[in-house]
Structure formats: C-alpha cells, structure tokens
Amino acid sequence: MPQPSINTPVPGVDTFYPLNDPAIGSILPTSAYPQNTKIPKLFQPLTIRDTTFKNRIWVAPMCQYSSDNGHATDWHLVHLGGLASRGVGSICVEATAVVPEGRISPEDSGLWQDSQIAPFKRIVDFAHTQGTLIGVQLAHAGRKASTIAPWVHLNAAKTRRASTWLAEKSENGWPDDVTGPSAIPFADDYPQPRAMDDKDIAQVEEAFHAAVERCKQIGFDFIEIHAAHGYLLHNFVSPLSNHRTDQYGGSLENRLRFPLKVIERVRKAWEKPLFVRISATDWAEGPEQGENGEWRYWGLEQSKFFVGELQTLGVDLVDVSSGGNYSKQTIPVGPGYQAPFAKAIKQAYPDLPISTVGLITDPKQAETYLEDGTADVVTLARELLRSPHWPMYAAQALGVAVKPASQYERAWLAVLTPKE
C-alpha cells in the first residue's frame, strides 16, 4: 500500500507551516548528493551545552530602530522570520535594553517589562517552526544612550544632517538620565552622562537578571551579553571611559568587576548557552600599555585576560568585535578586518568557541577562517541584509547541496542537482 502524499505540517503549532526535513540550511544526505562527501566547516553542526546549531553561519545582532516603546513589531517578525527561513544556523536579536534608559535610541528593543514578552515569543515561535535557533543580545547603552537613529542623524544621500546625536525629551529621549561609569561623554554631540553610584550599579545588575527570567518565558535558545561597541559594560572595562577611584575603577581587575558581576549573575540564572560580545580594542593611538605599566586604553591584551575570566565563569562562546568607545578611532576597515583579534583570542583559549565578525562577505573567505582555526563560527550582519539567502549562495560557491526552504527549492535547482 503506497504511503499517502501529503504536505506534512510542522507539528504542535496552531497554524500550518510545511515541515522542512532536514532543517533549512542543513547538509543533504550523501546517498543522494555525492558532492556532500566532504562537508565544509561552514555547514558542520556545532553543539554548545545541549544545543546543536545546524551550521556555523550566524546572524549578528543588528539594531533596527523600529520598536514601539521597547516592544518588537511586525517589522521584526518579517525581518527575523525571513532570515530564519533562509538557512542560517542561528539568529541573535538586536541589542535589547534591560532598562528603558539603557536603550541606544527611543526606538530600540527592550525587555524591561512583561508586556514585551509576547511580541518576542511570536518571533521565536516562528523561527522554531523553520528549524532555526534564535537568541537575544541583552544590553545597556551606557553613555551612548538617548541618541537618535542613524538615518535620522544623517540620511544616505547626505543631504540632511542633524546637528547632534542627542535625542531630546521632545524626541522621546532621556538626556538627563544617561549614565556611565564616569561623567565622560562619548563625544561633544552625545549626551552628558552622570557617574553611576552603587545603587545604580545594583539596579542594572538586577535588571539583567530580570530580563533573563523573561527570556525563559519567551523561549530564546541562547543569550548574548553586550560588552562591546562603547556601551555600558565596555564603558566600565576601558580606561578611556572609566576614571573611577572606587572598587569599579583603576586597575584592570576593578574595571572588570561590574561586567563580571553581571555576567556571573546571568550565568547562574541561565542554563542554556551564554555568549558575550566584546570589543577587542578601542582602536586608540599608541601602545595599549604605557611604559609606566598603566593601561592607556582597552586593547587585545586586556581582552585576553577578560576572556579568561569569562571562561572561568562558564561563558560558552565569545563573539569578538572591536571599537565603538573612542570617538576618534581610526579603523583600517576591509573584509575580515576583525578576524585577527578573534584568531589571537582563539589561540589563547583553544577550547573556547569563538565567533568572528566584520565585513565578511565571501563564502570561501568565511570557510578559511574556520579551516585555519581563526574562529569556530562566522557571524554576518550587513551581508545578510543585502543577501538573506547567503547560506545558499555559500553552498553553491563551496560545491555542496544544502536544504533550502521547500517553498524556495525551485530557485536553487543548481545547488540541488546531484554531482559526482
């Protein structure tokens, strides 16, 4: 008796989605596709704790400046849902503030109240129907909070430029409630922060913990803590932005104290994979450490020490980026320009999974970073905005057959043709 031919649904959901088996973005069996005898590392699974990522092409957190008082909207459902159906190994939701005054802009994502749970859960549930893991980057913007969206500050044609980055109260900002480790603004056209006291520090730590509890209700598969790009935790670790003289400033150990407290608190509350994004350097001039032994700015050697502490706390992966804390930074931007930092940290901690990011666009270039031990994961941002089907293009470039969404199979017949 022949089996009935049906369009099998994803089980356990309230609406109909065709089931993709194997999952979108997975290597297809060698029995049908001889070209898959040797699998590129980009498409090899990676297991962290009890979570298996189907491939190593991950979506970086990318601010959309499109939230409604911290609540995700249908823009996020379409934006993130589209990526979930196109073969990436995981998605990290944009920087999501743990307190309202911790947003970068008034339109940033947030998880400081329970009403923000349901919109995120809708997105996470959809990603899961497509067989894609999804997590969130928990953040506090520190001294770079209460700023306007980039296209409000400067449009793409450069025919309109705002006179300041500051979002005033009339623009839904909170310029009088911007905080950092010290009262040092990022730049002249940024808010003037006030130095956090012990009460402020305790409240932010508690807010991270409360956000983790909401992440559990949402069903996120991992959490990434944002300790990069000139936001609060980066503000604390860098001597450029932290001039404190108490237990949270001065020595490297003191500057790391608050970020490590936050991350330790999150680790104790969160059993699933926990990642941390760092900036490996401030890109300031001169040596990281002066002749007198004092650290002049945040750089790779301090980052290595920081990562060692993160590994001790049980952090599962470090996402290596750079910059964002020094307004006069000079960065030699080019394809893979941040990969050397990831490689240096991977060499220092070979057993710790490392992700590399930064203008990675070519599949063969991305594969090289995994093959030569630079990193274990390649995280893409703008390239996936330009080419959401990048995982399928990567499969085509690397000569392997990978599962597209069933609805898109007709577009990828060249990838799906068996080859000896």
Q: What are the tens digits of pLDDT across the range 78-99?
A: 999 999 999 999 999 999 999 9
- Cis amide linkage into residue 22, ω under 30° from 0: yes
The reported pLDDT for the residue numbered 406 is: 97
Q: Report whether 162 contacts 152 (CB < 8 A).
A: yes
Nearest Cα residue to 178 out of 164, 199, 195, 201:
195
The reported pLDDT for the residue numbered 2 is: 67
On whether the pTM is more than 0.85, the answer is yes
Looking only at the bridges linking them, the beta strands covering 377-380 and 354-357 are parallel
Tell me which of 4 and 361 has the higher pLDDT: 361
Nearest Cα residue to 68 out of 122, 112, 106, 114:
106
Neighbours of 198 (CB within 10 A): 10
The reported pLDDT for the residue numbered 156 is: 85
Instruction: Write the pLDDT tens digit of every residue in 304-320.
Output: 999 999 999 999 999 99
Q: Report whether 300 contacts 320 (CB < 8 A).
A: no
Domains of the chain: 45-384 (3.20.20.70)
Residue 108 scores a pLDDT above 80: yes
Mean pLDDT of 25-41: 97
In eight-state DSSP terms, residue 9 is: B
Instruction: Write the pLDDT tens digit of every residue in 201-235.
Output: 999 999 999 999 999 999 999 999 999 999 999 99
Q: What is the DSSP string of 288-354?
A: SB-TTS-B-S--HHHHHHHHHHHHHHT--EEEEE---S-TT------TTTTHHHHHHHHHH-TTS-E
Mean pLDDT of 262-267: 98
Mean pLDDT of 144-153: 96
Residue 45 scores a pLDDT above 90: yes
Q: Which residues contact 144 (CB under 8 A, 6 or more apart)?
A: 104, 186, 190, 191, 230, 231, 324
Tell me which of 1 and 148 has the higher pLDDT: 148
Residue 129 tokens, joined: 């129907």
The reported pLDDT for the residue numbered 420 is: 82
Angle 35-39-45 from CA coordinates, rounded to 5°: 140
Residue 419 tokens, joined: 């080859």
Residue 160 scores a pLDDT above 90: no
Distances (CA, A) of 388 to 61, 70, 338, 367: 14, 25, 22, 18
Q: Report whether 9 contacts 17 (CB < 8 A).
A: yes
In eight-state DSSP terms, residue 183 is: S
Residue 3 scores a pLDDT above 80: no
Residue 386 scores a pLDDT above 80: yes
The reported pLDDT for the residue numbered 227 is: 98
Q: Report whether 135 contacts 220 (CB < 8 A).
A: yes
Mean pLDDT of 321-327: 97
Q: Which residues contact 87 (CB under 8 A, 6 or more apart)?
A: 24, 25, 55, 57, 389, 391, 392, 395, 402, 403, 404, 405
